[in-house]
Structure 1
Amino acid sequence: MRRSASKKTGQSNSTSPITSSATDLFRSASSKASSKEMERIDNLFNSYANRSSSMIDPEGIETLCSDMEVDHTDVRILMLAWKMKAEKQGYFTLEEWRRGLKALRADTVSKLKKALPELEKEVKRPLNFVDFYSFSFRYCLTEEKQKSIDIESICQLLDLVLGSQFRAQVDYFIEYLKIQNDYKVINMDQWMGFYRFCNEINFPEFGNYDPTLAWPLILDNFVEWMREKQT
């Protein structure tokens, strides 16, 4: 009886090294695959990077867009910058590039191009879009300590980022921004306020717009201008 018991113990122990060995092999293979993927991501970065700055600069981004057959003004390039959490407009560092491409599982130009439609879907999820909308403003702050963006650039950015979702609101707001003389620049509070306005206010009736609430003054002026236009 005792021998039988010791046999059982021995059998249960003997499976442990096998299981452990299989796990180690899997980890090793997974680690090697991940390492190879990162190597390809780095090689791809180097093919577009400026050697003197060790960054992908505007010229490198244009070449990348050309290789992906995507216009460099396409909103998905801005979405790609968002995915990378890029800090400087028109530039990608190696760390940003790795972060974005690893998340997209793209280690070739072909895979990166194929990942763009899924990236677009990801950005358009409500919570992600608020973050992307906020990012797009910050990304355009090109000078140190800059907190606002000129009207002409804002009009282009609004059209690019929000035009497909709120066409009428964006078109009328751009028209207003171009003819008004009170504002030369737009700040983050006004930028975010317009997105909330598009989501919450009945347009173009404005029946639920209350100017006594905490709307940026520029939106009070915009609604007033629209109402005058309608009458």
Structure 2
Amino acid sequence: MPVKKKRKLPDSDDHERKCKITSFTRPQIRGARPISEKPFSSKKCLAWFHEYAGPDKVVGPEAMEKFCEDIGVEPENIIMLVLAWHLEAANMGFFTKEEWLQGMTLLQCDCTERLQSKLDYLRSELNDSVVFKNIYRYAFDFARDKDQRSLDMDTAKSMLALLLGRTWPLFPVFHQFLEQSKYKGMNKDQWYNVLEFSRTINTDLSNYDEDGAWPVLLDEFVEWQKAWSAS
């Protein structure tokens, strides 16, 4: 999960959740059995949060790196995006106290060991097409600068590589297209349609309908790919 260290986090007391992440109920957690038989403790979970947040009200980028090190996950690992989705985190590189307590309570994790026991479960959620779609859609608002309606192209390419790089055969070619394109960013409609395109259009583009309701970005990609293949 790319970390933006220079982003200024809005005051958590005044912070309005402008991008409410989901409108559906998250699936019941089915992770590994807890390390101990002790019930989940909100007090212990809060103390765990303050190990990283200190006197602040938020786990910021530097503390996030320590958190990732403790649970044994690289910050750029897609598991961190899945975790952020569970916490409904609004800003990349930050977990607020409210997000931490709400998300970790749902996960029933009040310490490092319990979260580690859920990592396989978090990864397995990516295999559920419905859950993956919602994580993918969440990533747009999570990663964008909140004063911008679009996702800047560098961030978009990084997030697409994280989400589709290993599963979409055409991703390397699409990435090349974005590299040479005139686009400086990607709006929400384009972002959503890239996933739909990756799921429904054949690798040879044989079933692509030029008269379909695809964004111009994808029309141009198809034209570019066909011209590139012909040459």
Higher gyration radius (CA): 1
Which stretches of structure 1, 4 residues or longer, exceed 2 Å deviation after superposition?
none
How high is the TM-score relative to the length of structure 2? 0.80
Give CA-to-partner distance per residue, 1:72-119, whole Å, 9 cap, x none.
111111111000011122111112111221222211111112211101
8 Å Cα contact 1:202/1:208 also seen in 2: yes
Structure 2 Cα separation of the partners of residues 140 and 206 of structure 1: 29
| Matching residue of 1:228 | 227
8 Å Cα contact 1:44/1:108 also seen in 2: yes
Higher relative contact order (CA 8 A, sep 6+): 2
8 Å Cα contact 2:145/2:151 also seen in 1: no
CA drift of 1:187 comes to: 0.6
Structure 2 Cα separation of the partners of residues 198 and 143 of structure 1: 27
8 Å Cα contact 1:86/1:96 also seen in 2: yes
CA drift of 1:143 comes to: 2.9
Aligned length: 193
Structure 2 Cα separation of the partners of residues 141 and 185 of structure 1: 10
Give CA-to-partner distance per residue, 1:18-50, whole Å, 9 cap, x none.
xxxxxxxxxxxxxxx76x611111110010114
| Matching residue of 1:6 | none
Match of 1:191, SS state, is helix
| Matching residue of 1:75 | 78
Match of 1:41, SS state, is helix
| Matching residue of 1:102 | 105
| Matching residue of 1:22 | none
Structure 2 letter corresponding to 1:43: A
8 Å Cα contact 1:50/1:57 also seen in 2: no
| Matching residue of 1:126 | 129
When the two chains are superposed, the root-mean-square deviation of aligned CA atoms in Å is: 1.4
Higher helix share: 1
Gaps of 5+ in 1: 1-32
The yes-or-no answer on 1:187 pairing with 2:187 is: yes
Q: For 1:51-200, list aligned pairs within 5 A.
A: 51=55, 53-144=56-147, 146-166=148-168, 168-181=169-182, 183-200=183-200
Structure 2 Cα separation of the partners of residues 42 and 127 of structure 1: 31
Structure 1 letter corresponding to 2:207: N
Identity of aligned residues (%): 31
| Matching residue of 1:10 | none
Structure 1 letter corresponding to 2:107: L
Q: For 1:5-44, list aligned pairs within 5 A.
A: 37-44=41-48
Structure 2 Cα separation of the partners of residues 38 and 200 of structure 1: 44
